[in-house]
Amino acid sequence: MSKRTIVPFGPQHPVLPEPIHLDLVLEDEKVVEAIPSIGFVHRGLEKLVEKKEFTEYVYVAERICGICSFMHGMGYCQAVENIMGIKIPERAEYLRTLWAELSRIHSHLLWLGLLADAFGFESLFMHCWKLREQILDVFESTTGGRVIFSVCKIGGVRKDIDQDTLKGIVAVIDKMQKELKELTDVFIEDYSVKHRLVGVGVLTKQEAHEVGAVGPMMRASGINQDMRKLGYAAYKYLDFEPVVENDGDCYARTLVRIREIYQSMDLIRQCAAKMPEGEIEEKFKGMPSGERFERLEQPRGEVIYYVKANGTKFLDRVRVRTPTFTNVPALLKILQGCDLADVPMMVLTIDPCISCTER
Amino acid sequence: MESILFLIIFPLLTGVALLFVRNDSIRRIIVRTAAFLLIIASILISVRYFDSGLELSLHKEWINYGMVAIELALAVLLIAISIKHKKYLPILLVIIQTTIINWYEFSYSHEVEIHADIVIDRFSLIMILITGVIGSLICVYALKYMEDYHHHHHEIKDRRNLFFFLLFVFLSAMFGIVLSNNLLWMYFFWEITTICSFLLIGYTRQDIAVKNSFKALIMNLFGGFGFAAAIMYLGYVVEIQELNKLPALAQSGIELLIPAVLLAIAGLSKSAQMPFSGWLLGAMVAPTPSSALLHSSTMVKAGVYLLIRIAPTLGYNVAGILVMMVGGITFFLASLMAITKSDGKKVLAYSTISNLGLIVACAGIGSYESIWAGILLIIFHAIAKSLMFLSVGTVEHSMGSRDIEDMHGLIIKLPAMALMMVIGIAGMFLAPFGMLISKWAALKAFIDSDNILIVLILVFGSASTLFYWTKWLGKLVAVLNKYERIPAKLTFDEWVSMGTHALLTVVVCFIFPMIGNHFIEPYLNTQFAQHLGSVISDGNIKIMSLMLGMVLLIPLGLIVFVTLKEDRIVTSYMGGVNRGDNRYFTDSKGQAKHLYLSNWYMEKYFNEARLSTIGNITTSAVIIVIFFMALGGVL
Amino acid sequence: MVDKQTIIEVKVDELVDKAVLMKGQGYRLVQISCTYKENFEITYSFDKDYELVHYRIHVERDEEILSISQIFFSAFIYENELKDLFGVKIKDIAIDYEGGLYRVAKKAPFAPQNKEEEEAKHV
Amino acid sequence: MSVLRFSGYIIKNLFQKPATSMYPLKKQKCFDRTRGHISIDIDACVFCGMCSRKCPSGAIGVDRQVKQWDIERLKCIQCSCCVEVCPKKCLSMKNAYTAPSVGSVKDVFHARVPDNQPNS
Amino acid sequence: MAGSMMSVLLYIFLGPLVGGLIAGIDRKISARMQGRYGPPLLQPFYDVLKLLSKESIAVNGIQNFFIFCFLIFIIFTGSLFFMGGDILLVIFALTLSSIFIVLGAFSANSAYSSIGAMRELLQMMAYEPMVLLTAIGFYVVTKSFNITDIMSFETPLVLYLPGIFLGFTYILTMKLRKSPFDISMSHHAHQEVVKGITTEFSGSTLAMIEIAHWYENVFLMGFIFLFFVWKMPGSWIIGIIACILLYFFEIVIDNASARYKWQLAFSSSWIAAAALGFTNLLILFLMK
Amino acid sequence: MSFLKKSPWIIHYDGTSCNGCDIEVLACLTPLYDVERFGVVNTGNPKHADILLITGSVNEQNKDVVWQIFNQMPNPKVVVAVGICATSGGIFAECYNVMGGVDKIIPVDVYVPGCAARPESIIDGVVKAVEILEEKRAAMTKKRKMAKVRRVSGPVSLSNMF
Ligand code: NFV
Ligand code: SF4
Ligand code: SF4
Ligand code: SF4
């Protein structure tokens, strides 16, 4: 008889905050086959465009996901704005960038914590999330929500940040950076952590390209591509280089995300320094018509909003192709031959966001 | 006095009779009666010679000539079979051996004075009891088993008459070995076991069986060659031909290194130690009763029997180191390899090799304590291992598989067999049971003899032992509500055989202090000139018995527990995708998929091929180095 | 600033060739999306150095198309999605969930469920 | 590479005050912008129903006949959409949260109820 | 005899209290290390008392019985230890009791409890040699396996057995189920095998496991104690201080490391046992 | 004296939430909110849990999962629906694959509003849940005392227990 264990993994599982399911076939602890399953969070919100006006749909878009919520709102708005040819004020662009980068920090910190939890490092998880709270406070004080901001609207943003608050944000970032260093050093240097990460789940550059990985997943495999370089929002005014690592293992992916946190901190400082005065919202009239693919760099990688409008207030189609969705084939690839103990590591290093994936 | 020969002659005659019986019911009557008589006889003889012992000398030329004649006939038989299968190495070995031994027999053996051809002491009694009781029970068990076997395997020709003939001849030879004091006699029986095992392993006449039988033959002939050489050396140089003279000689400081090494090689090959372990694994192709016989009470036990007999001789020289190292390495590596196996019989085979390694190591140390432990190990191992083999055989016939993975939930499918196995496994390694007691004694002996390397090997080896037995146990006790009982009709023969085994496993644990006091220690006192008493203190024995009592209460407790329990039965945890009956879950495609829980085998980690290469190389190296050291020391 | 986006219409049977071509030129598959307007309007997007190329095919409801997952492995997940949410018939998907990727309450929710809806789409 | 790299940091933390906010013993901190719950100045409401129509989750009910405005607290997603669209600016977002409950909570407001309290 | 009876009784009654308290302190300290306020000191007791009041559910009729045996044999083991019995026997009894929990997990026949059981077994295989070597070390120095004799040796054993002490500390982490060795079941951080061996146990059975662990921890501290006490009256204070320090050290390790994978957990503990244990023993033999 | 109050263990299942509430539940465990102060442990295993925290609504695919988890919890147990999605489906109520609040599948005892539910609200919700838990326990013991007859009916033997 076979020496293979066949067990379900998830959807309810303590290391997976979100429901994803894997059929695992194991030999001892070695994964010989793993088929992921999604659909536990599928709501079908893309179809809501038929019931919600396109201006209202922002509220739905930003509830695609509570982690990368802000950029969903922003991406959707950007797509519609581009279809309609609206040019939003520069200050709004900066504000959007600021929140987007703060979101990236919060998202990466959240991920670092979850990763630590998955490899059994509870105290590291706690400290990562402790730091993250400071960013959430910034969110709440500037937008009114810790998770869902509701500040993006077609044509600009709803809320402004005054100069003092802006300084305050930079101060928070500065203070955080020091503490963060202590934590990230543990990820980078600690023996037990490296034991869990180095050489685990290797995705070569070639493979990464073939399976169409995106975001940190791709950059950790040595592919230099970052959608922020497209220059949407205020990125065209800012100075940064995509973070790239070459090893393609879990460790490299961790490094990429860690370095991206610091990068985001830098971008926030740049934003604060360069932020112009002015309006935060451009009034517009009319209905959109046309279609467009809009690409943004979410914390987890390239996201694509496809909007097709027909000149009425109800859009024909909105489709969000999220980074996790594209990273699932990559997940499949790295799951082959890893250990059961690595499975959470694998799942987490694509930084899965299931609600994004399934919408 | 000569009545003792009953033990040798009676099984032989029974065997011959069975050779001509093809009728099932007649065979059944003969086997049952013979087994019953043998058991009674072994017990009676033990009682009879318990105090007095026996030293019997039969100055009968015709016996010797008879033996020579039979030997020659068998040699011819072997050569014929080998030629038929185009195997030439065995021919060479047979010829060399026969020549040596005959030449010695005719040219010199008359000049060596023999005091006793047959000696019975308490150690022989233990072996007689094991062979008589366990061996006979296995024969009884074989009745039903072989019937089923041929029922399942139509491709194999039914030669049961031959099979039972061999079984009984085997018993006869085994009695011969443990009774003989005259080395030439012992050698004679020794060779008979070799041939019987050769024929038994090749019973099915399938290619693999033939191949493995020759493997066994070659390795055993090699050992036989060592035996023959030892006899010659002893006869010529030391001028003795009796086993019981050796310890005294050794203690008086006579150089016995070369014969010790040669006998050790004989013992090691027979007890399937590395690098000779291959034959025993190959022997698994034979029908289970013969495996049980080979692995538990006879064959391999003959090897360790010889080693233990000469143990006091070994303790004084490098031959001891040889035996100890080979035993130790084999113990450790075989138990690691057992981890990678899921075939029940393979696991048992490795466990046998491993446990014998321990006994061999005990013999190699050759101290009072270590021999004490070694003998205890022989007893417990014989019983528990035999029980395991028989259970695996029955399970195989009931479910059509002897794979441990298939024994998942056996406690539901075949509760009685599961219970037998649980007892057997517990007997093999668990705390208050036999093997563990002996291991404990062995550990103590090893420490006291300052052999720290062996101590290390023992602690690591027993950790691995724990692993593979417990995971087997785990398979057995997995409970799934939906499993069907497998209708298994155990026959009376099987019940008697396995039931007695199970009972013995438990009872012997309770009475082992008595065995120690009344059998082992008196024997050791004669071997060593001092009296050291029990290795395990009384206080500890009491606690052990208490524990055993507690463990035996478990089944009772279970029944009470199950009756009183008020659990709400829920489905098992599957991350929420249960399909209701603990067997299926909803897979990624939305279909029902069977949950399957396999044990770990860690084949990459404890790679069988790699480990056995390592083992074979190191043990061969040890043997070769020490062999040449011995030669060099003499030259 | 805003880039122009052109969508290249191709025939259903040209698609696989195009995919092979794209693969050969070092593009990666970025997404496959679908809209139902009289028929399935499926867009395949490829990317190389921040540059997007879109191919669009039109597929009838009962027409079966070939998977490109043999060329771009990652296509399997998009194609399964199309299958489950739109009811597009696709064959030879590398990993075919057979309708189990999204187990939704009503089959192919993005395709019209009945005659009336169908007609509404045709306007 | 280092073993137990984190030990210094955690031991330092052991002797520091924990970061815990001690809610509910201490009150939660609130920001001005915090979106907690919707409140209405019912006297200013003209029952035009705009808020009800635009509310993305359909939490608001407006009945022009009986001059009733109600909100289902367990449906409101605090998006502030209603606040934005109300022509009379009679809705506002307060920063206190609705408390958890054991069943659905519907706050009903009628015009001319003097003290503007929920009276369901 | 009366004295040893006394200590057994003390163990049986105070064992869980001390063990629970240790667990409580552990949780509190861990929380503080993590920058949190942490649960009340007596939280472990609340947990167990709560578990006792829950409905009892099970996957099948017998799984819980094994746990009952586990508890009984753990108590037996500890009693044997505090009675001053034979240390090898204590270890065998400990193994037996651990096997019961493994069998319990196997018998539940559920995905994660079985995997947890395999991992637990692996851990047993990993630590068993070192535990035995510890006993052997004691024997080699004191010429006795008897705990009473070991305790009344004329110098602290740790002086003779530093290597073995280190090795034992190494595997102690495993026995205490602390990170990096909490592979079969973790008290804290979440794990791929859910709750490992305890996945299918709940209510009073889980409480039994918890209590058994308390007993076990106390008894393990007894092992550490042995290294530090000697004939000198009052040396028990040193022993207790050593236990406290060591436990604190374990908490630090727990909070400052990721969970190892089984390969590393297994090989490192065998290597630790072989290297530290063996060298130490070798030196002792050479000194003789 | 009951200790349920002092040691409510939770299991958290994420239905079709947007993650917002989901991470807020996790945030409750972390230093700033530290619900372990109340003895709360996130067990992640239904068999150990007393309180089921559900975020997000239920859909076709996860309704069985929710039900299974609920069923595998030992009594007394309470369900807390966290966030508007879990209480009513919220903004997604009209989606084709959303069945609505969690109470469509299992009985919900406490509703925690908010989108996303704030950690403070979740703490309040848990506190409320603990009270209900306590009531349920009292009811359970009363019932158990009243039930003179054993629950297992029919003859009990080893074989029919498996
Ligand atoms: N996948 C994903 Fe998102 C991100 N980053 C986005 O589009 O998290 Ni929820
Ligand atoms: S805040 Fe949003 S959800 Fe709440 S009532 Fe107003 S519009 Fe509706
Ligand atoms: S929109 Fe304003 S005025 Fe109109 S009904 Fe709503 S609250 Fe009243
Ligand atoms: S209630 Fe809001 S934040 Fe919570 S899951 Fe639903 S949409 Fe996300």
Supply the mean pLDDT for chain A.
87
Q: What percent of chain B has pLDDT over 70?
A: 96
What was the pLDDT predicted at A290?
84
Apex B66 CA angle, B61 and B71, nearest 5: 130
Q: Which residues in A have their CB inside 8 Å of a CB on D?
A: 52, 56, 59-60, 63, 121, 123-124, 127, 130, 133, 140-145, 148, 150, 159, 182-183, 185-186, 189-194
Q: Which of B342, B588, B595 sits opposite A36 (nearest CB)?
A: B588
Q: How many CB atoms lie within 10 A of CB E241?
A: 11
Neighbors of chain A with 3 or more C-beta pairs under 8 Å: B, C, D, E, F
What average pLDDT does range A311-327 have in this prediction? 87
Chain E residue numbers with beta carbons less than 8 Å from the beta carbon of A183 are none
Interface check E141 vs B, CB under 8 A: no
A300 within ligand 1 shell (Cβ under 6 A): yes
Stretch among E116-125, E184-193, F129-138 having the lowest mean pLDDT = E184-193
Q: Strand F9-14 relative to strand D106-110: parallel, antiparallel, unpaired?
A: unpaired
Atom 4 in ligand 3: which residue has the minimum CA distance? D48
Structure confidence by residue, pLDDT tens digits, C18-71: 888 888 888 888 888 888 888 888 888 888 888 888 888 888 888 888 888 888
What was the pLDDT predicted at B484?
67
**How many B/F residue pairs have CB atoms within 8 Å?**
42
Structure confidence by residue, pLDDT tens digits, B404-432: 888 888 888 888 888 888 888 988 888 77
Domain that holds residue C113: 4-121
A156 C-alpha to center of ligand 1: Å? 22
What average pLDDT does range F126-150 have in this prediction? 76
Structure confidence by residue, pLDDT tens digits, E251-267: 998 888 888 888 888 99
State the complex-level ipTM: 0.90
Q: Strand A4-9 relative to strand A21-27: parallel, antiparallel, unpaired?
A: antiparallel
Stretch among B27-31, B455-459, B544-548, E27-31 having the lowest mean pLDDT = B544-548
Q: Strand D37-40 relative to strand C51-59: parallel, antiparallel, unpaired?
A: unpaired
Contact A111, A103 (CB under 8 A): no
What was the pLDDT predicted at F161?
37
Tokens representing residue E78 in the block: 């500890």
- Ligand closest to D86 (CA) is 3
Structure confidence by residue, pLDDT tens digits, F35-50: 888 888 888 888 888 8
Interface check F154 vs E, CB under 8 A: no
E69 C-alpha to center of ligand 2: Å? 58
The residue of E121, E123, E146, E268 whose CB has the most chain B CBs within 10 angstroms, and thus the best one to mutate to test that interface, is E121
Secondary-structure class of domain F9-161 per CATH: alpha beta
Residue B207, class by beta-carbon neighbours within 10 Å (0-12 exposed, 13-18 middle, 19+ buried)? exposed
Chain F residue numbers with beta carbons less than 8 Å from the beta carbon of E201 are 47
In C22-44, which positions are buried (b, 16+ CB within 10 angstroms) versus exposed (e)? bbeeebbbbbbbbbbeeebbbbb
Q: Which of B150, B413, B458, B494 is nearest to E135 (CA)?
A: B458
**pLDDT band for position E168 (50/70/90)?**
very high
Atom 6 in ligand 2: which residue has the minimum CA distance? D82
D59 within ligand 2 shell (Cβ under 6 A): yes
Asked if E36 lies within 8 A of D19 by C-beta distance, the reply is yes
- Conformational region of residue A288, where left means phi above 0, alpha means psi within -120 to 50, and beta covers everything else: beta
> Residue B439 pLDDT > 80, yes or no?
yes
What's the pTM? 0.91
Stretch among A322-326, E67-71, F17-21, F149-153 having the lowest mean pLDDT = F149-153
What average pLDDT does range F59-87 have in this prediction? 87
Structure confidence by residue, pLDDT tens digits, B302-350: 888 988 888 877 766 778 888 888 999 999 999 999 999 888 888 999 9
What was the pLDDT predicted at B331?
92
Helices (H), B122-182: 122-129, 136-152, 160-179
The amino acid occupying position B142 is A
What was the pLDDT predicted at F160?
37
Tokens representing residue A5 in the block: 């264990």
What average pLDDT does range B219-232 have in this prediction? 86
Apex B509 CA angle, B504 and B513, nearest 5: 125
Distance from CA of F6 to the nearest CA of D (A): 16
What average pLDDT does range B115-127 have in this prediction? 85
Apex A54 CA angle, A48 and A56, nearest 5: 80
Q: Which of F72, F159, F161 sits opposite B571 (nearest CB)?
A: F72
The residue of F3, F47, F69, F133 whose CB has the most chain E CBs within 10 angstroms, and thus the best one to mutate to test that interface, is F47
Cα dihedral value A69, A72, A73, A74, nearest 10: 120
| Higher per-residue pLDDT: A298 or C105 | A298
Supply the mean pLDDT for chain C.
82
What was the pLDDT predicted at B146?
86
**Domains of chain E, residue spans:** 2-287
Distance from CA of F101 to the nearest CA of A (A): 13
Q: How many CB atoms lie within 10 A of CB B622?
A: 21
Atom of ligand 4 nearest to the CA of F91: 7
F85 within ligand 4 shell (Cβ under 6 A): yes
At residue C115, φ and ψ (nearest 5 deg) are -55, -50
At residue F80, φ and ψ (nearest 5 deg) are -115, 120
Asked if B481 lies within 8 A of F162 by C-beta distance, the reply is yes
Query: Residue D43, SS3?
Result: coil
What average pLDDT does range A338-350 have in this prediction? 86
Atom of ligand 1 nearest to the CA of A325: 1
Q: What percent of chain F has pLDDT over 90?
A: 3
> Residue F149 pLDDT > 60, yes or no?
no
What average pLDDT does range B365-372 have in this prediction? 85
Atom 8 in ligand 3: which residue has the minimum CA distance? D45
Structure confidence by residue, pLDDT tens digits, F103-114: 888 888 899 888
Q: What's the CATH code of the domain at C28? A: 3.30.460.80
Q: How many CB atoms lie within 10 A of CB A148?
A: 27
Q: Which of C69, C98, E60, E108 is nearest to B587 (CA)?
A: C98
DSSP assignment letter at B296: I
Supply the mean pLDDT for chain B.
84
**pLDDT band for position E189 (50/70/90)?**
low
What was the pLDDT predicted at F43?
87
D83 within ligand 3 shell (Cβ under 6 A): no
Atom of ligand 4 nearest to the CA of A148: 3
D91 within ligand 2 shell (Cβ under 6 A): no
What was the pLDDT predicted at C72?
86
What was the pLDDT predicted at E1?
58
Q: What percent of chain F has pLDDT over 70?
A: 88
Atom of ligand 1 nearest to the CA of A67: 9
Q: What percent of chain E has pLDDT over 70?
A: 99
Provide the total of helices (H) and of strands (E) in chain A, helices listed first.
12, 8
Tokens representing residue C91 in the block: 């064959």
A328 C-alpha to center of ligand 1: Å? 13
Q: How many CB atoms lie within 10 A of CB E245?
A: 11
What was the pLDDT predicted at A248?
87
Q: Which of F99, B589, A214 is nearest to C83 (CA)?
A: B589
A225 C-alpha to center of ligand 3: Å? 48
Domain A46-328, CATH 1.10.286.10 — does that match? no
Q: Which domains does chain D have, with CATH numbers?
A: 30-110 (3.30.70.3270)
Structure confidence by residue, pLDDT tens digits, A27-50: 888 888 888 888 888 888 888 888
- Return per-residue pLDDT of chain D as tens, 120 residues: 688 888 888 888 888 888 888 888 777 777 888 888 888 888 888 888 888 888 888 888 888 888 888 888 888 888 888 888 888 888 888 888 888 888 778 888 887 655 555 544
> Residue E245 pLDDT > 90, yes or no?
yes
Atom 8 in ligand 4: which residue has the minimum CA distance? F18
Considering B89-93, B366-370, E235-239, the range whose residues carry the highest mean pLDDT is E235-239
> Residue E173 pLDDT > 70, yes or no?
yes
Interface check E128 vs F, CB under 8 A: no
Atom of ligand 4 nearest to the CA of F92: 7
A82 C-alpha to center of ligand 2: Å? 28
In E45-77, which positions are buried (b, 16+ CB within 10 angstroms) versus exposed (e)? bbbbbbbebbbbbbbbbbbbbbbbbbbbbbbbb
Asked if A41 lies within 8 A of F26 by C-beta distance, the reply is no
Q: How far is CA E145 from CA A331, D102, E135, in A?
A: 54, 63, 7
Q: What percent of chain E has pLDDT over 90?
A: 24
**Domains of chain A, residue spans:** 46-328
